[in-house]
Structure 1
């Protein structure tokens, strides 16, 4: 058995990519409440290493367990399964549209 054969993998959604070479991935799972046996949705957030900076918020990614890379990072990005549909807005775009709206109202 190889070293990577024993490592856990998870599939989740990137919720934050504001750090350099780091992303936060939310992995959803469900469990049953003990007394009432109702299904409850839960989510766990993992900090993962993204060396190339490929992932963006909204992307569906696969992460794999690895050695500790920092205080909170124990996972690394394996692949981006599906690109998210969140639009990226730059601050210049927001300022430009705000200034155009102000000029039009004069």
Structure 2
């Protein structure tokens, strides 16, 4: 039952969702999540990794550094936080 409380249903968030890795804790109820994506160079066709960092609201303070999470777009919680934790996919061992 405790595990179900950590995983919110994805239907609550109507915006976009992304999958990333928690790379740091930034104060109370805030975690920084790194989202990697790959783009293909138009001429050379080489795949290039791009990285974006998002400040994410973690209401229950359950995410640890290294966890894989799904984040969803939400209303602004603060100046930099516009994302919330939807689900914790994998814990760091």
Aligned with residue 86 of structure 2, among 70, 78, 86: 78
Q: Size of the alignment, in residue pairs? A: 83
RMSD (CA atoms): 1.5
Structure with greater Cα Rg: 1
Give the alignment partner of residue 10 of structure 1, picking from 18, 38, 52. 18
Q: Any unmatched runs of 5+ in structure 1? A: 86-106
TM-score, reference length from structure 2: 0.82
Please state if 1:51 is matched with 2:59: yes
Higher strand share: 2
- Which protein, 1 or 2, shows the higher relative CO under an 8 Å CA cutoff with sep ≥ 6? 2
TM-aligned CA distance change 1:67 to 1:41, over 3 Å: same
Once superposed, which parts of structure 1, at least 4 consecutive aligned residues long, lie more than 6 Å away?
none
Normalising by structure 1, report the TM-score.
0.72
Tell me which protein shows more helix as a share of its residues.
Answer: 1
Whether the 8 Å CA contact 2:13–2:73 is kept in 1: the answer is no
